[in-house]
Structure formats: C-alpha cells, structure tokens
Structure 1
Amino acid sequence: MAGKLSGKAALVTGASSGNGRAIARLFAEEGASVTVADIRDDPRMGGEPTHELITAAGGEAQYVECDVSSASDLRAAVSATVDAYGSLDIMINNAGVERQRPIEEVDEDDYDWLMDINLKGVYFGSQAAIQQMLDQDGGGVIINMSSIAGIRGLDESSLYCTSKGGVTNLTRELAVEHGENDIRVNALNPGFIETAMTMEDGETAGGILEQTPLGRAGQPEEVADAALFLASDQSSFVTGHNLVMDGGFTA
C-alpha cells in the first residue's frame, strides 16, 4: 500500500535530531524522498545519522550540510534536493535554537544569532522553496516550525517569542500571497516537546509541565504525526494555519 507521501520530495532543516529527525524518518516511511539538511549529522541524542537510519530501513534519503542562517546554503539545499529527486514538493523549516534571558541582559550578538536561525532561516528557506515550486508550476507544501512562544509570552523569552511570533505571522502572509499558486503554507506551534534542547533546563521544563493539563511532555514522534497531516492531501484545504499542539498549555 502506497504511503501518504509517495512520489514526493521533502527537505527538512535541522533534521539531525529532535523534531526534525522524527519528521524526516516518518516522511520517508510514508514514501517521501528526504533531504536531511543540518550543520552536522551526529545527533545529540546519539545513534546513527538520520539519513543512514532512513536508508537502512529501505527509504531514500541524503544528507546536505546547511547553515540556515545562510540564504545561499538554503538555496543549495533546495538545488541538491531537486538534483537528487527531480522536484521539491515539501519544505520543512524546522531548524531552531533557544536562549533564555531577561531582555535587559540580551546583547546584539545574542539577538543576531537567534534571529538568523529562527526567523531569517525560515524566511529564506521559504523563499528558496517558493522559487522552486513556482518553477515547477505544480504547487507544494511549506511547514514552518513555530511554537507556543509564537502566540503568547513566556518568562525571560523575549528573543524566542519575537522570533517565533515572526514565524507565526510569516506563515499566514505566505499562505495569502501564494494560495493562487497552489502552495500551502502552515506552521506547527508545539508546546513542551521532549528533545535534547528542551531538556537542558530542568527547572523550566518542570514549570511548563506543571501548567500542562495532560501532565506530560510531547514527543518528537507526535510532532512528526502533525507534520505528516499538514504535508499530506488530508489537509488539502488547510493553509495559513498555526496548529497548536501543547497538551492544553495555552488553554
């Protein structure tokens, strides 16, 4: 039986670990050919590189080194996907970082570092994908990784909230701008997901979980399931949407 993404080519940034790794693996299981794009492919969680796990399981994948703060790297990753698989049908702008500190302690280097990855990377990743999708004249899907921090404030997170707020509204704008081209643009807004990055600060994690009605952290595989819905034809009439998956935190 064919998978939900059979015949599709997908590019996933930040796919060496965490949510991106889970998304890349699930998409490959569902029949997509996947470009794993990251600055390294030695995931912090340990284990085999993502693209090797995919190919060992019978899927099709390649690794491309990509610094998402560089627009030229993002264009090169798109080109590598098209060269290998013939098209780019799904773009997942997943790569992101976090830095918690009160605004009075943030300096310009902090700001530039985080915005270059979290917001500039999504902006120019979307641009590169849209340019290719327009050339193909067959539409496509873009999924941006936002956060609950893109729709509400969090303590000592002015940098992160600013970046993810930008991603949230960029998603809406691109959906409006390119709906006529059959390019659907949506975002995922996860709450606390158990990854190497989020578990680094146990005190913050505990505070968020105390306010989460389901009483637990989400798993990267659950984020991947939501991404699959937005990437597949099951969401063919969904665009400009920010899908909140936070265990009830924002409720």
Structure 2
Amino acid sequence: MALLSGEAAVVTGGSSGIGRSIARTFAEHGADVVVADVVEKPRDDGTPTHELIREETDAEATFVDCDVTNRADLEAAADAADSFGGLSVMVNNAGIVGPVGPITDLDPDEYDRLREINIDGVLTGCQVAAERLIDRGDGGSIVNMSSVAGMVGYANIAPYSLAKGGIRSLTYSLAAELGPHGIRVNAVHPGVIETEMTRADFPIVGTEEGEALEETNPLRRLGRPEDVANVVTFLSSDLAGYVTAESIVVDGGDLHTA
C-alpha cells in the first residue's frame, strides 16, 4: 500500500541514520524525496540516499546541500520539492548530540552550536515549510524529531534534553497555529536507536550499557532506524489525517515501564 503516493517530502539530515531510513521508507510508499544534509554520503560511506532511492524504487529523489543553521539552505531544500509538485511533507530530523558532561563544564560555544542546529534549525525548518504549505492551500504535514530526552531528564546531556524538550513544545504551538490551514504538526521521540550517533557520538550500541538496556527493554532489543521511519511515514500519511499535536514515543516501551 503506497501511503504517500503523490507527496513531495523534504527530510533534513537525510543522508544517514534515522533520516536516511525515513527518506527510503517515504520513497517505498510513493513519495518523491529531497534529501537535505551537509554531507551527501552516509556516515558508513555507502551509496548516497537519493541515489539509493532511484535504484530501489520508482520515486524521484534529489540531494540538496543543506546546513539547517542557514535559512537560505532550508529554503533551497523546500524549493527543490517544486520539481516534484511542491512541498507537502517536511521532516525536521537533523540534529546533534552536542556537549556531554556535567552542566558545570558546559562550553558556551558548544552549546551555541547545539542550539543553532537542534532548536533554531527546527524552528526555521517549520517556518519555511509553513510558508509554502499555507500558500499551497492543501494542508500538509510537519514532523519534528525530538527524543525521549525531551520528555524526561537524563544526567550529563542537559543541553540536548533542553533542545528536544523545546521541540516538543514548539510542535504543540505550531499544531494549534497551523491546524486551521489543514497542516498537521507532530513530534516523534525515539529511544536508543542503532545508528552511528549511538555508536560513535554517544556510545551506547555495543557497550555494556547497551546490552543492559536490551535486557530490560520490554521488547528485549534496541531500536532500529526503520522503527522510527515507519512511525514518521504514518504521521505523514492520510492514515493520520486527524492526528496533530502528538508526541509519539518509539522506544520499545522503556519510558513507560521503567
């Protein structure tokens, strides 16, 4: 069943990890995809996402060099969807873990970089998408990538939790504001997902901590990028036509069974 047939989507951070899986799943469901990222190749040095989509599906795909801290880049990514019929789905997925450690050791410059990407980049992505979706006049969907860290507090990642919690509140505000235009805005909150971010940037996968998490998770495994991509696909489709201002947790049950 092609849930996104005829849709044109922009996925920021679409070259690797969760974003790559979202872009590929969208294409499998009939959407044409703009992969917006600061690098074209995935972090594992595989085939670029847009090329893989063209090889594996009937969908169209293109890559746009996009730094989400630069409004002009986000506008260029949204404009690229015009060649696919005009933007109808925006996924603000790009993000970084940022500084890890005690709040007393926080480097202001590192925090500024996290804020620019994880908060300002999402806000601007929403603004750029909203302008086009309102002009288009046919509704649409915005999905913002948050985290379970945006719902509960974890030690030593306060800036990341702050940013992800902000995305949650932003999502609710924009759902109220854009709802009269038929535009739905939702947030997705992944738990520990097996990506290069959780292998290298904030090492959990393959560690004793990761093994312990698997043993206590109700489903007895860590998440996979496709677990998140499937939820984002649902939220972007007509199946979720009456779903907005929601925070959907994708963590195998960890958050609510701890």
Q: Normalised by the size of structure 2, how large is the TM-score?
A: 0.93
| SS state at 1:189 partner | strand
Q: CA RMSD in A?
A: 1.3
1:24–1:36 contact (8 Å) kept in structure 2:
yes
| SS state at 2:3 partner | coil
1:199–1:205 contact (8 Å) kept in structure 2:
no
Q: In structure 1, what is the equivalent of residue 102 of structure 2?
A: 102
Equivalent positions of 1:103-182 (< 5 A) are: 103-182=103-182
| SS state at 1:197 partner | helix
2: CA distance between counterparts of 1:87 and 1:61?
13
Equivalent positions of 1:181-220 (< 5 A) are: 181-200=181-200, 201-202=203-204, 203=207, 205-206=210-211, 208-209=213-214, 211-220=216-225
| SS state at 1:250 partner | helix
Q: Which moved more, 1:232-241 or 1:209-218?
A: 209-218
**Matching residue's letter, 2:219:** L
Cα distance, 1:139–1:80 mapped onto 2, change above 3 Å: same
1:169-195 CA-to-partner distances (Å, cap 9, x unmatched) read 100110001110000000110100000
Cα distance, 1:29–1:249 mapped onto 2, change above 3 Å: same
Q: In structure 1, what is the equivalent of residue 17 of structure 2?
A: 18
**Matching residue's letter, 1:69:** T
1:198–1:205 contact (8 Å) kept in structure 2:
no
1:248 maps onto 2:247 in alignment: no
**Matching residue's letter, 1:235:** A
| SS state at 1:135 partner | helix
Q: CA deviation at 1:130?
A: 0.2
Q: In structure 1, what is the equivalent of residue 29 of structure 2?
A: 30
Q: Percent sequence identity over matched residues?
A: 47
Q: CA deviation at 1:205?
A: 3.6
Q: CA deviation at 1:72?
A: 1.7
**Matching residue's letter, 1:105:** D
1:70 maps onto 2:70 in alignment: yes
1:95–1:118 contact (8 Å) kept in structure 2:
yes
**Matching residue's letter, 1:11:** V
Q: In structure 2, what is the equivalent of residue 52 of structure 1?
A: 51
Q: CA deviation at 1:110?
A: 1.1
Q: CA deviation at 1:74?
A: 0.8
**Matching residue's letter, 2:227:** E
| SS state at 1:192 partner | coil
1:134-169 CA-to-partner distances (Å, cap 9, x unmatched) read 111111100000000110011211011000000011
**Matching residue's letter, 1:109:** D
2: CA distance between counterparts of 1:102 and 1:213?
30
Q: CA deviation at 1:76?
A: 1.5
**Matching residue's letter, 1:93:** N
What are structure 1's unaligned runs of at least 5 residues?
none
Q: In structure 2, what is the equivalent of residue 224 of structure 1?
A: 229
Q: CA deviation at 1:208?
A: 4.3
2: CA distance between counterparts of 1:155 and 1:174?
29
Q: CA deviation at 1:199?
A: 1.5
**Matching residue's letter, 2:220:** G
2: CA distance between counterparts of 1:163 and 1:116?
10
1: CA distance between counterparts of 2:46 and 2:239?
32
Q: CA deviation at 1:248?
A: 1.4
2: CA distance between counterparts of 1:222 and 1:213?
15
Q: CA deviation at 1:211?
A: 4.6
